[in-house]
Structure 1
């Protein structure tokens, strides 16, 4: 289970632009003029086409859409150069995670698939890279359920630590496959749709608690195991559950989504009424769910807003802006109102760790904590200046090639904040 113990090291200040200057390699990116019109064999929803609007009333950063999209592409190019690799042959593409416990983790492969599918049209190699990522995932099945991804690989891309799964990676792998089916169809090298449905059904079987309908930590947590009634807030991805319902027609995913939304609302109300912050881990999910009372998996701060929960504003906000769901909007707005007030409107004051009452327990700075709040800010019509300040911070912060986690959260938060995110529905 050491693959679950990914305590993030404290980040240094953002790297200077010189760290990535010269690291970028030539790649066939589409020109700005080609974003909105895909070639006949190209993606159905090319990056920058904005075919699928957000809910009414959602903000966007100030400035021209073309300039905003260009800033996302600049960040993507740096992220890709730093982390998308072919280090192990076999036609595989892997997402490298130098700051995790192992060079390759399931979370990273999921991030890579989602990002690559969304950036199709801006990167003409997206489908080739995505297929290489699929090949990698299929070559690394979990030892407990072969329909899931083994969560950790060593520098030789060999699965280690029991070859079991981590829920967050599997959720994104399945979601990425659905994005790919919508982008390119499923009649090519891989039948993305059937692979997605297989993965979704494996998640349902082995990573959803059948009693609470909440996400388990991985397929290693089975009935009777000590973590069986624990759930991680960053796995509560309502937009993914909507896509899974659409792809499978299985009403279980509506039940799962509602269970998580109700838990988010109740945890905010009971334990963070002034902040909206959620704990990294919630325990006692079968009785009276509450923030972890100290270390239950990773650190003494498992009951605080730490290196897992820092993604929550992005995950909750992504559902809010794409669905307009009242519960997700309310939860995202609560987070946004608190952080805007806490920092006095200065994104540079966001730090790497908060107790649920809003007091800090850490003083570091990292994009993993800063970037998600830009997504939450989209939901509040009164937060244009705050959103613009956040966007400026994100767009001006270079990718640090040593910090895959913060860079990956930064990029994905920027994709959502720019209006370039969408939820695959039907096919």
Structure 2
């Protein structure tokens, strides 16, 4: 009897040690992956000068260029890296300080584009809603991690969000416009960029500001995406759409940015990441129809027409990383998760800020503690 008990104790001890070793190896491997990608990304894309940092998106050797979008992603990446010990509060604050220098005094929003050539900086007079939303989100998350700066970060976030509602909000349609250039008198005032639909962030914004318009924006913009989703078999969504009353329709080719404006392309690629984890029924319906389409694709490529026809034959992390993130939230998409994780094995690419940054952002979000509204 004693021998049998001893045998069981030994077996349980060995099994426990085995599990601990596996967990250690997995955590160590994950840490090495994140550190590798973060260090490469920082070396290639982050420019630090006079205590300020920004993400350089230019591929030209004689200029440096920052976008409000890249600054938002830079702040989010740095915050997530700091949560895991790869970066510091000082690193985050250097991005924050650069952001403060780019605020337009008239709108209170960040200049969409800043180009530096020969130490001279030229700023765009317009803003891009997405960039300001990303920056506000980063500041809100940082306020929870660093209590000593909580008031400062939240105050800045509130200013951004109030400025967005002043400048980039259609009061009749209750949607966010894509920038302050889409004025009330402009036809573009009824245009939405689908990657601006961030329901989890909208809920955060309401909690921070107490402004119920953020809940209304969340409800209205999800309804518009759902309308488009319900009106095609694939569930694919376009980069841009026109809103009219309760309806929405994809824009035609070359109306806004490129010939793929009405297709699932580089803006819409972020939709799975933006919707994943949201508990709203509309968001779930949109996401799962989209994910079911991609679950049937053996090889996901860069861009699709809304009917499901491929636009290109090559793969791109810009499309794979957001899908991988969404798949990580739901066990039903395990096959898609395994299929799309290839991008994690790649090094950060030069001259590809967008795909490289999304890859790193997802790697930091998936293998760590990220807050979401919903449950797996």
TM-score scaled by length of structure 2: 0.85
Q: Between Structure 1 and Structure 2, which shows a larger proportion of strand residues?
A: 2
The answer to whether the aligner puts 1:399 opposite 2:336 as a matched pair is no
1:263 and 1:302, CA in 2 relative to 1: closer, same or farther beyond 3 A? Answer: same
Residue 9 of structure 2 is matched in structure 1 by none
Map 1:171-320 → 2, pairs under 5 A? 171-187=133-149, 191-270=152-231, 272-273=232-233, 275-286=234-245, 288-317=247-276
CA distance in 1, matches of 2:190, 2:331: 38
CA shift at 1:379, angstroms?
4.3
Displaced runs of 4+ in structure 1, greater than 6 A?
Answer: none
CA distance in 2, matches of 1:212, 1:72: 41
Deviations 1:207-256 (A, max 9, x none): 22212221211112111123111110011111111110111111111111
| Higher RCO (Cα < 8 Å, 6 or more apart) | 1
Find the partner of 2:96 among 134, 146, 153.
134
- Report the structure number with the largest CA radius of gyration: 2
Q: Between Structure 1 and Structure 2, which shows a larger proportion of helix residues?
A: 2
1:99 and 1:240, CA in 2 relative to 1: closer, same or farther beyond 3 A? Answer: farther
Deviations 1:129-184 (A, max 9, x none): 11111111111123640x21001111247654642211111001111111111111
1:136 and 1:158, CA in 2 relative to 1: closer, same or farther beyond 3 A? Answer: farther
Find the partner of 1:91 among 51, 60, 63.
51
CA distance in 1, matches of 2:178, 2:297: 31
Larger deviation, residues 68-77 vs 404-413: 68-77
CA distance in 2, matches of 1:285, 1:144: 29
Which consecutive residues of structure 1, in runs of 5 or more, have no partner in the other structure?
1-62, 344-348
Whether the aligned pair in 2 keeps the contact of 1:144 and 1:164 (CA below 8 Å) is no
SS of residue matched to 1:371: helix
Find the partner of 1:107 among 61, 69, 80.
69
CA distance in 2, matches of 1:186, 1:215: 32
1:187 and 1:313, CA in 2 relative to 1: closer, same or farther beyond 3 A? Answer: closer
CA shift at 1:124, angstroms?
5.4
CA shift at 1:403, angstroms?
0.6
CA distance in 2, matches of 1:285, 1:64: 50
CA shift at 1:91, angstroms?
1.6
CA distance in 2, matches of 1:137, 1:420: 26
TM-score scaled by length of structure 1: 0.75
Residue 333 of structure 1 is matched in structure 2 by 288
Computed over aligned residues only, the root mean square deviation of the Cα atoms, in angstroms, reads 2.4
CA shift at 1:418, angstroms?
2.5
1:340 and 1:99, CA in 2 relative to 1: closer, same or farther beyond 3 A? Answer: farther
CA distance in 1, matches of 2:287, 2:29: 26
Whether the aligned pair in 2 keeps the contact of 1:140 and 1:159 (CA below 8 Å) is no
Whether the aligned pair in 2 keeps the contact of 1:233 and 1:281 (CA below 8 Å) is yes
Equivalent residue pairs, number? 346
Whether the aligned pair in 2 keeps the contact of 1:186 and 1:193 (CA below 8 Å) is no
Deviations 1:9-41 (A, max 9, x none): xxxxxxxxxxxxxxxxxxxxxxxxxxxxxxxxx
1:308 and 1:360, CA in 2 relative to 1: closer, same or farther beyond 3 A? Answer: same
Whether the aligned pair in 2 keeps the contact of 1:229 and 1:286 (CA below 8 Å) is no
CA distance in 1, matches of 2:106, 2:265: 29
1:397 and 1:201, CA in 2 relative to 1: closer, same or farther beyond 3 A? Answer: same
Whether the aligned pair in 2 keeps the contact of 1:371 and 1:410 (CA below 8 Å) is yes
CA distance in 2, matches of 1:131, 1:166: 22
